[in-house]
């Protein structure tokens, strides 16, 4: 019998040119463990997922309790399921008006898809504006929003009527017109290597959308749940979107996503045609139970309040002549280095030392740091020490 690594390459569909190939035996808190018991400090939280760390006891307990009650019962939106309803109510309570209607899906890209359909149905328009170097998912609707086109060219034709503008460009907002159904924007652009919005940009964007009757869709799938220093990143910029996209960190390690709008906007999915958006598994009871425990635990803790001081510590420690720039939005940082090769060498060195980092889809010269919010000061110091050592090693060799 071939070993697990050989079988991984043989039977698991491969999309990465250089998979990290780390075999995971178990995970707990800040750490992943390989079969030899070697611990790896997780500095990327499964790409923005495990905000409370891996297998938080309350999340595990809630999922286990739900496993003993019921699993799937019926397709979305028919039965009254307590974990779903309680989660939607808690979310609505912590969102500003009028965001009180939650449609649960299974992933980030599905949240994008649902929101795009909702905007088209609500406005009767089909044009959608998105920002260059944003990432909203890989299914065909969400992939239509992707730019640069090298990622999507092989799959064309995708959706018609997509217009791309530069992020943080105020004069580009004139391209949002009475033809526009929606503008889809990441509150902080993640995969471009952490680009927070410029002063006043999101307010101008909000204003332009309202002027022309286009819906503003904010993608907080990666920013979501505290990472930027507030429960939702948009709270820091004085605006409210028409539709909010969530996933990743929401489930505490279980797969779940959502698009959230007002009841008035969301109601148009229930007529002309009825069942305007259907999902079998969206809002799965076990995922909702885990997501409810995640949100409750986060809200009862002071983890979000600690984000800014932990960010500051990273920024103080990550200083080296070979670091071109560090950009950040809370516990979400991009360390820009000289080249892709340097980033790869640093990632590999860190991995050997027991530290998991990564790069960004649209910025391969930057090292990704997005740890669970539970990271301690001592762990930040250790991780930054390893990264600086990795950079030193690379310079010497
Ligand atoms: N939007 C953003 C901002 C993301 O970062 C991602 C995932 N990297 C997605 C959407 C898509 O999420 P998923 O992989 O769950 O489909």
Ligand 1 centroid to residue 219 C-alpha, Å:
9
| Residue 228 CB-half CA count within 13 A | 24
Q: Residue 371 pLDDT more than 90?
A: yes
Q: At what angle do helices 82-94 and 285-300 cross, to 10 degrees?
A: 40
Q: In three state form, how does the secondary structure of 219-276 look? A: ECCCCCCCCCCCCCHHHHHCCCCCEEEECHHHHECECCEEEEECHHHHHHHHCCCCCC
What does the pLDDT look like over 69-117, one tens digit per residue? 999 999 999 999 999 999 999 999 999 999 999 999 999 999 999 999 9
Same domain for 22 and 127, yes or no, is no
CA atoms in the 13 A half-sphere facing the CB of 132: 11
> What's phi and psi for 33, nearest 5 deg?
-125, 140
Q: Based on the domain organization, do 77 and 169 belong to the same domain? A: yes
- Taking the CA of residue 47 as reference, the ligand 1 atom at the shortest distance is 8
Does residue 397 have a pLDDT over 90? no
C-alpha 215 to ligand 1 mean position (Å): 20
pLDDT per residue over 293-346, tens digit each?
999 999 999 999 999 999 999 999 999 999 999 999 999 999 999 999 999 999
Six token digits for residue 347: 């990632």
Domain identity same for 94 and 135 = yes
Separation of alpha carbons 118 and 380, rounded Å: 42
In this structure, the answer to whether residues 34 and 155 fall within a common structural domain is: no
**Segments forming the whole domain that contains residue 119:** 58-300
The string of DSSP letters for 284-298 reads: -HHHHHHHHHHHHHH
Q: Which of 252, 281, 300 is the last residue of a domain?
A: 300
Q: Under 8 Å CB-to-CB from 10, ≥6 apart: which residues?
A: 2
* Mean pLDDT in residue range 60-69: 98
CA of 69 to the centre of ligand 1 (A): 30
Measure the CA–CA gap between 228 and 243, rounded to whole angstroms.
19
Instruction: Please classify residue 339 by burial: count the beta carbons closer than 10 Å to its beta carbon, then call 0-12 exposed, 13-18 middle and 19+ buried.
Output: exposed
Looking at the structure, tell me whether residues 146 and 8 fall in a common domain: no
- Ligand 1 atom at minimum distance from 138 CA: 16
Establish whether residue 135 lines the binding site of ligand 1, counting it when its CB lies within 6 angstroms of any ligand atom.
yes
Identify which of 41, 28, 26 has the alpha carbon closest to the alpha carbon of residue 379: 41
Which pLDDT does position 394 carry in this prediction?
A: 81
Please determine, for residue 194, whether its predicted confidence score (pLDDT) is greater than 80: yes
Of 16-20, 239-243, 374-378, 393-397, the poorest mean pLDDT is in: 393-397
Verify whether ligand 1 is closer than 6 Å to residue 190 (CB atom).
Answer: yes
> Cβ(258) to ligand 1 under 6 A?
no
Mutation probe of ligand 1 site: the residue of 222, 232, 334 with most atoms within 8 A of C-beta: 222
206 lies in the same domain as 294: yes
Q: Using the 3D structure, point to which of 252, 274, 300 is the last residue of a domain.
A: 300
Instruction: Tell which residue, 206, 247, 239, has the closest CA to residue 223.
Output: 247
271 with 241, same domain? yes
Secondary structure class of 232 (helix, strand, coil): coil
Q: Are 349 and 390 in contact (CB under 8 A)?
A: yes
What pLDDT digit, counting tens, does each position of 222-257 carry? 998 999 999 999 999 999 999 999 999 999 999 999
The residue among 251, 249, 195 whose CA lies nearest residue 226 is: 249
Domain end, chosen from 240, 270, 300, is at: 300
195 lines ligand 1 (CB under 6 A): no
> Of the candidates 246, 305, 232, 307, which has an alpha carbon nearest to the alpha carbon of residue 106?
246
- What separation in angstroms does the CA of 231 have from each of 15, 236, 296? 33, 10, 12
To test the pocket of ligand 1, the residue of 107, 116, 135, 329 to mutate (highest count of ligand atoms within 8 Å of its CB) is 135
110 close to 279: Cβ distance less than 8 angstroms: yes
Going from the Cα of 176 to the center of ligand 1, the distance in angstroms, rounded, reads: 24
Q: What is the CATH number of the domain that holds 354?
A: 3.90.1150.10
Checking if the pLDDT of 1 tops 70, the result is: no
Please give the Cα distance from 382 to 367 (Å, whole number).
Answer: 16
Both 287 and 314 in one domain: the answer is no
Q: Do 337 and 245 sit in the same domain of this protein?
A: no
The answer on 308 and 253 residing in a single domain is: no
pLDDT of the residue at 396: 77
Regarding whether 306 and 296 lie in a shared domain, the answer is no
Among the atoms of ligand 1, which is closest to the Cα of residue 223? 3
Nearest CA to 160 among 124, 183, 127, 123? 127
Which residue minimizes the CA distance to atom 14 of ligand 1?
108
Confidence at 207, pLDDT banded by 50, 70, 90: very high
Q: Is 136 in the pocket of ligand 1 (CB under 6 A)?
A: yes
pLDDT at 363 (0 to 100)? 95
What percentage of the chain carries pLDDT values higher than 70? 100
Total structural domains within the chain: 2
Q: Are residues 74 and 33 in the same domain?
A: no
Q: Identify the pLDDT of residue 17.
A: 86
Average pLDDT, rounded, for the chain: 97
Q: What are phi and psi of 340, to 5 degrees?
A: -60, -40
Bond before 246 cis per omega within 30 degrees: no
pLDDT at position 149 is: 86
Q: Is any ligand 1 atom within 6 A of the Cβ of residue 137?
A: yes
Q: What is the CATH number of the domain that holds 129?
A: 3.40.640.10
User: What stretch of H or E contains 102?
Assistant: strand 101-105
């Amino acid at each position: 019998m071939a070993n697990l690594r050989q079988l991984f390459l043989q039977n698991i569909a491969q999309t990465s040119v250089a998979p990290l190939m780390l075999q995971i035996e178990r995970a707990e808190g800040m750490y992943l463990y390989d079969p030899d018991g070697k611990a790896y400090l997780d500095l990327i939280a499964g790409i923005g997922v495990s905000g409370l760390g891996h297998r938080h006891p309350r999340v595990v307990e809630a999922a286990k309790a739900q496993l003993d009650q019921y699993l799937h019962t019926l397709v979305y939106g028919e039965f009254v399921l307590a974990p779903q309803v309680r989660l939607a109510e808690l979310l609505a309570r912590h969102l500003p008006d009028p965001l009180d209607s939650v449609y649960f899906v299974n992933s980030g890209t599905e949240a994008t898809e649902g929101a795009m359909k909702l905007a088209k149905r609500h406005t009767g328009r089909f044009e959608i504006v998105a920002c260059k170097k944003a990432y909203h998912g890989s299914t065909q609707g969400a992939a239509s929003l992707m730019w640069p086109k090298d990622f999507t060219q092989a799959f064309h034709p995708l959706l018609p009527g997509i217009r791309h503008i530069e992020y943080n460009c105020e004069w580009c907002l004139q391209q949002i017109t009475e033809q526009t159904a929606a503008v889809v924007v990441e509150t902080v652009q993640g995969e471009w290597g952490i680009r927070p919005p410029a002063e006043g940009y999101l307010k101008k964007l909000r204003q332009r959308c309202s002027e022309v009757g286009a819906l503003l869709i904010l993608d907080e799938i990666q920013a979501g749940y505290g990472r930027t220093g507030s429960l939702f990143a948009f709270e820091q910029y004085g605006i409210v979107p028409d539709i909010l996209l969530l996933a990743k960190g929401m489930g505490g390690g279980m797969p779940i996503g959502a698009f959230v709008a007002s009841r008035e906007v969301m109601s148009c999915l229930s007529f002309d045609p009825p069942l305007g958006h259907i999902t079998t598994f969206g809002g799965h009871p076990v995922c909702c139970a885990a997501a409810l425990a995640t949100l409750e635990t986060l809200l009862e803790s002071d983890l979000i309040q600690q984000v800014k001081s932990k960010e500051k510590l990273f920024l103080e420690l990550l200083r080296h002549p070979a670091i071109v720039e560090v950009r950040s939005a809370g516990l979400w940082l991009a360390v820009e280095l000289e080249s892709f090769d340097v980033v790869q060498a640093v990632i590999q060195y860190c991995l050997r030392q027991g530290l998991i980092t990564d790069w960004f889809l649209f910025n391969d010269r930057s090292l990704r740091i997005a740890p669970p919010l539970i990271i301690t000061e001592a762990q930040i110091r250790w991780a930054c020490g390893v990264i600086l050592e990795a950079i030193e090693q690379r310079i010497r060799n």
